[in-house]
Amino acid sequence: MRSGSKFRATVAAAVLSVSLIGCDAMSFGSQATIAESTVAYEDEDAFIADLVSRMSLERKIGQLIQPQINSFTPEDMERYRFGSYLNGGNGGPYGDEFAPASEWLRYADEMYEASIEPLDDGEPIIPTMWGTDAVHGHTNVVGATIFPHNIALGAAGDADLVRRIGHATAIEIEVTGIDWNFSPTVAVAQDDRWGRTYESYSENPELVAELGAALVEGLQGERGSDGYLGEGRVIATAKHFFGDGGTEQGVDQGDVNGDIDELMAVHAVPYPAAIDSGVEAIMASFNSINGRKMHGNEELLTEVLRGEMGFDGLVVGDWNGHGQVAGCTVTDCAQSLMAGLDIYMVPDDWRELTETLIAQVNDGTIPMERVDEAVTRVLRVKYRAGLLAPEPLLPSERGLAGQFDLLASDEHRALAREAVARSQVVLKNDGVLPLASGANVLVAGLAADDIGQAAGGWTLEWQGGLEGEMGADEGIADEIFPNATSIWEGIEEAVTADGGTATLSPDGSFDNRPDLAIVVFGEEPYAEFAGDQTDLVFRNEEGLGLLRGFQEQGIPTVAVFLSGRPMWMNRELNASNAFVASWLPGSEGAGIADVLTGAVPATGRLSFSWPANCGGTPVNGSSGALFAFGYGNSLDQAAPLRQLSEECSALMVGPSSDIFSSGRLGDGVTANVVGGGALPNLVGSEGGVRARGYDRDAQEDSREITMAAGSSLAITQAESSGGAWRITYEVVTRPTGGMAIRSGNSGAAMSNVDVRLQFENAQGKGFREMVITGQCVDNLGDTITFVSEGEITFRISDIRREDLPDNTECSF
């Protein structure tokens, strides 16, 4: 049994150079022998240096490669000896992302066994380790506890609560044989349009630092204690270093601009706290800092993180993040290793990257000293986690592995319910809360009985939302969320226990008039860039319609809003008698009922400022907030709210003109290659530009456009209709050179906006919208031109001109 430092202190001097003579791969544990070494195991630095000195280049590079389980086999593990591997948000053992917990553990054993098969050349055997994104509980595994997302824990604001959640999560991870968690996210989200806002504890860096450090301690144990990285603990990862929460307009993986000291004063604050708590891994961020991608930023990854902050663990990349570095591809990026990355997260292209790195060491591009440094950091973390113990133990033989009754145990579910209750923020209450004893309560809204929507993204699948996708019937809910209580179920239990009656009516209809209606509604689940918005408008009007319908009938209402961020909710606030920000509560919907009934005090307070306007401009701590950071009401007294303005410029879109839609150019619109010829209906090949039909939603309703270096494509109206340019596009390949968009009048001087970074960031993220307004160009004119200094392929499904409010920002 692994027991962290207590185990290491009693171990005899040894090295993990094993001779498995006659050993059956499935029973190696009892037959392995450990060759003695002149280096004491307890001497961490000397022990690891001895291992590294006896490893071949191929085995060293293997420690720096992290593939995903969908793209390699145990045979590949035995051949390449990957230092670690991961399951992505949509990955599971044996190709089954909904596999039972026992299969996760069986797979962990198989991969571990493959990683310690004897080597013919007598090299030291280095076991692999498995990393996972358990960002709100061990939520890749069916039946695990689903805790509220970080934004909710920020509203609870209790470090001890977060620490206990971290420990519970680590226990459930260890049950399935996994070693390493890619958590906590310590982003300081500054623009709530960002699709990862819910992964952030707060807009306040000090609160993020406090709660992030607490989760590290919960996952790993207290640094220096006997239980550190022992039983029921796993390796933690602070992410993403750094600036992920500060991108322009909240664009995921985008650019963070400004004075570096000012940026550090916000976005770097959580890292020293995490390091002081002993965090063993830090993940590099996708974003750029002043135009330079973090995966290639030596000044920050090495000089600041290592030199100034004193971090001595490992730095792991994010999903193919190295491929976004200037001059890099997914399979060729010495720059990242030289900048300070220790492990490449390369989900699918691991073979080619392995070969490239070996060649680059052999030709001197990468010094062996840098490889040894990175390998040393990886082995140091494995040593501290007890993974380099002299006697190799299968994951199923360690700690709490295989104790499946610990998944969603009564204790863990009670903890999750406590977290839900303590995170509820009452924004408005004219006196209808707490619910009256004996009340006849109607519960409306599609989300009320949908655990998947309440859980949000990173739940069983990357984007989440499974129950809603599958129809939200009871059988499906029981199958994919066997240890969960929906919001409706929690309310029903609480209301009936208090002598009342509760009825579920998703559409709000009823036969017997209720005393009060609770309307549960909110954002559909999303993760990462899929959740990016250009404003903070909540456009799904299901909840608004229900609230207004009850209001017209004189039935008091409580709005329970599920979201991953604060949003412009003035209309819903006006239409409700009480409004509760419930965030993304997870599997224990009864925690919401605990607050609505008054069984638990309403102590949640906003960890993000709540916007008064819909545009999305950040209001962090400013007078532009409707509700300031720290706002929230108890139920001890009424907290009514004045009538709010329902005017929203983002909903006031004027007339539009189709430039290209449904596979056709609009009337009087032409497409021409500058210096070449015309592309009739935006199809053909001229002057380095090739455009062909592409099926997005219907046959050839879109265009795929490939541009060579030095080419330009102009889309021109015969007569300008005026208005902003709105383009629905998808970037297929990253630009290899500069990329710009020009607008103005044909034959006259054009305004220019550099979009290379935006196009680089958009690559691989599906269709999205760009809006070109007078905020970033001087002249919108009759023509928009794509100018490429390198090669690029992108797709266009729609171009239109729209009248937008004068202050509308350009966005991509």
Q: How far apart are the first and last CA of the chain?
A: 52
Residue 806: Cβ-neighbour burial (10 angstroms; 0-12, 13-18, 19+)? exposed
d(CA 497, CA 504): 16
The tokens describing 190, both together, are 């500054």
Mapped to the 3 state alphabet, what secondary structure does 405-425 carry? Answer: HHCCCHHHHHHHHHHHHHHCE
Helix axis angle for 159-175 and 205-220, nearest 10°, is: 40
Which of 297, 155, 270 minimizes the C-alpha distance to 215?
270
Catalytic residue among 172, 192, 528, 588: 528
d(CA 400, CA 110): 18
d(CA 808, CA 241): 31
User: Do you find a cis peptide bond into 72, omega within 30 degrees of 0?
Assistant: no
Q: How many Cβ atoms from other residues are within 10 Å of residue 741's Cβ?
A: 24
For the chain, the farthest-separated pair of C-alpha atoms sits apart, in whole angstroms, at 84
Residues in the chain, overall count: 812
**What amino acid occupies position 507?**
D
The tokens describing 337, both together, are 């290793």
Catalytic residue among 174, 191, 217, 318: 318
d(CA 208, CA 238): 11
d(CA 425, CA 427): 6
Is residue 535 annotated as a catalytic residue, yes or no?
Answer: no
CA angle 632, 145, 507 (to 5 degrees): 60
Q: How many Cβ atoms from other residues are within 10 Å of residue 767's Cβ?
A: 16
290 phi-psi bin (left φ>0, alpha ψ -120 to 50, beta other): left
d(CA 179, CA 7): 17
Q: How many Cβ atoms from other residues are within 10 Å of residue 586's Cβ?
A: 27
Q: What is the DSSP letter of 616?
A: -
**What amino acid occupies position 147?**
F
User: Do you find a cis peptide bond into 434, omega within 30 degrees of 0?
Assistant: yes
Q: How many Cβ atoms from other residues are within 10 Å of residue 64's Cβ?
A: 26
Is residue 318 annotated as a catalytic residue, yes or no?
Answer: yes
The answer to whether 745 touches 782, Cβ cutoff 8 Å, is yes
d(CA 240, CA 247): 13
Beta strands 281-284 and 237-241: pairing type? parallel
The answer to whether 295 touches 322, Cβ cutoff 8 Å, is yes
The answer to whether 807 touches 775, Cβ cutoff 8 Å, is yes
The pair phi, psi for residue 353, each rounded to 5°, is -65, -40
731 phi-psi bin (left φ>0, alpha ψ -120 to 50, beta other): beta
Cα separation values, 169 from 122, 303, 340, 404, Å: 38, 33, 29, 13
**Three-class SS state of 568:** strand
Q: How many Cβ atoms from other residues are within 10 Å of residue 751's Cβ?
A: 16
| Dihedral of the alpha carbons of 798, 803, 805, 807, in degrees to the nearest 10 | 60
Name the percent of the chain in helix, strand, coil, to the closest 5: 35, 20, 45
Which of 308, 148, 157, 313 minimizes the C-alpha distance to 229?
313
d(CA 664, CA 267): 46
The answer to whether 600 touches 421, Cβ cutoff 8 Å, is yes
Q: How many Cβ atoms from other residues are within 10 Å of residue 483's Cβ?
A: 19
Cite the active site residues: 318, 528
